[in-house]
Amino acid sequence: MSDRIRAPEPTAQEIGGLWATFKKSGSPSAREGLILHYSPLVKFVAGRVGVGLPRSVEQSDLISYGMFGLIDAIDKFEPERNIKFETYAVNRIKGAILDELRALDWVPRSVRARAREIQRSLDELEHRLKRSATEDELAAHMGLPLETLQTQLGEIAGLGFVALDELVDAGDRSSATLGDLLSDPKATEPGGSFEQQETRYFLSDAINRLPERERLVITLYYYEGLTLAEIGDVLGVTESRICQIHTKSVMSLRNRMIEPGAL
């Protein structure tokens, strides 16, 4: 049993007094007392927001972000409006946490949503055509001008970066991370050689089914080790155009590798 003696919780009358003092004079001590009293709200909201986030996002960071929301809520709260402070503060705390998380994400949500839309459209189109779709066909399927589609492909090119400590199942905090699934190059396991050969076969077959220019970009980039700029020089186009072709090619390959032989 702990020997520490917990300080008694302040009464509603005492909290009311802190509010009155702070709003009347801006007393720093009254403000600090209010922050201390309502700080458990931050931990509660941070716990709710943290569900489903990658493991790389520390709970302590969420609490830190949320404290700014709590302080802002205390500064702007108007007791005379007869609104329960907890209800008002929860939204402020949650908003502060989400704003900070969005600021840390180098890719805007609109770009991520656009990437999902393109991937879904490409999947639908290639299942219908039973082959790789060209950019013209994809643009027509999505009802977009070709130039717009190419611009969007360039914008989502950076989405290929992932964190190794990101959960495979974002809804399960005990899920394995992407790093956990990386194979040990020094390890040997039964059937590993066969699976590797099978993967190489499906990948080679998927690459060979790509349109000629897309196949050439993939080959020069991954097999010959050329940079996107160097490939652009070879094909006589800009580096950004090669980036667009590469992004669309990877999306097509992803569809084929998910369901080998389906296309």
In percent, how much of the chain has pLDDT > 70?
A: 76
Say if residue 114 is in the same domain as residue 91: no
CA-closest candidate to residue 34, choices 4, 64, 59, 26: 26
Say if residue 177 is in the same domain as residue 216: yes
- Give pLDDT, residue 205: 83
In a domain, 192, yes or no: no
Q: Which tops the pLDDT comparison, 84 or 103? A: 84
Which three-class secondary structure state does DSSP give residue 131? coil
Q: How confident is the model at residue 67 (pLDDT cuts 50, 70, 90)?
A: very high
Query: What are all long-range contacts of 88-93, with beta carbons under 8 Å and residues at least 24 apart?
Result: 89/38, 89/41, 90/41, 90/45, 93/41, 93/42, 93/45, 93/46, 93/66, 93/69
In a domain, 147, yes or no: yes
- 72, burial (CB in 10 Å: exposed 0-12, middle 13-18, buried 19+): middle
Using the 8-state DSSP alphabet, how is residue 80 labeled? G
The torsion of the CA quartet 161, 164, 166, 169, rounded to 10 degrees, works out to 100
User: Nearest 5 degrees, angle CA 66-CA 86-CA 102?
Assistant: 30
In a domain, 263, yes or no: no
Which three-class secondary structure state does DSSP give residue 56? coil
CA 182 – CA 71 distance, rounded (Å): 43
In a domain, 5, yes or no: no
Indicate which CATH number applies to the domain containing 20.
Answer: 1.10.1740.10
CA 23 – CA 5 distance, rounded (Å): 31
CB atoms closer than 10 angstroms to residue 138: 22
Crossing angle of helices 28-50 and 85-104, rounded to 10°: 60
In a domain, 44, yes or no: yes
Say if residue 76 is in the same domain as residue 145: no
- Give pLDDT, residue 147: 92
CA 19 – CA 34 distance, rounded (Å): 8
Say if residue 117 is in the same domain as residue 21: no
Q: How confident is the model at residue 106 (pLDDT cuts 50, 70, 90)?
A: low
Domain termination residue (choose one: 40, 75, 104):
104
- Give pLDDT, residue 89: 94
Burial per residue of 78-114, b for 16 or more beta-carbon CB atoms within 10 angstroms, e otherwise: eeeeeeebeebbbebbbbbbeebeeeeeeeeeebeeb
Say if residue 115 is in the same domain as residue 99: no
Question: Using one digit for the tens of pLDDT, what is the confidence trace for 118-159?
Answer: 988 998 988 888 888 889 999 999 999 999 998 888 878 756
Q: For residue 126, which amino acid is it?
A: E
Say if residue 253 is in the same domain as residue 130: yes
Q: Which tops the pLDDT comparison, 66 or 109? A: 66
Q: Is there a contact between 227 and 202 (Cβ–Cβ < 8 Å)?
A: no
Question: Using one digit for the tens of pLDDT, what is the confidence trace for 215-258?
Answer: 999 999 888 888 888 999 999 999 889 989 998 888 888 877 76
In a domain, 131, yes or no: yes
Say if residue 100 is in the same domain as residue 121: no
Say if residue 220 is in the same domain as residue 163: yes
Number of domains in the chain: 2
- Give pLDDT, residue 132: 84
Indicate which CATH number applies to the domain containing 228.
Answer: 1.10.10.10
**Is 50 exceeded by the pLDDT of residue 170?**
no
In a domain, 1, yes or no: no
Q: How confident is the model at residue 21 (pLDDT cuts 50, 70, 90)?
A: very high
Say if residue 117 is in the same domain as residue 17: no
CA 32 – CA 156 distance, rounded (Å): 45
- Give pLDDT, residue 34: 95
Domain span including residue 100 = 12-104
pTM metric for this prediction: 0.44
- Give pLDDT, residue 202: 79
Question: Using one digit for the tens of pLDDT, what is the confidence trace for 32-58?
Answer: 999 999 999 999 999 888 876 666 678
Contact residues for 98 (Cβ-Cβ < 8 A; gap 6+): 49
Say if residue 99 is in the same domain as residue 125: no
Say if residue 82 is in the same domain as residue 208: no
Domain termination residue (choose one: 87, 104, 121):
104
Mean confidence (pLDDT) of the chain: 80
- Give pLDDT, residue 181: 55
Domain termination residue (choose one: 76, 104, 132):
104
Say if residue 115 is in the same domain as residue 211: yes
In a domain, 127, yes or no: yes
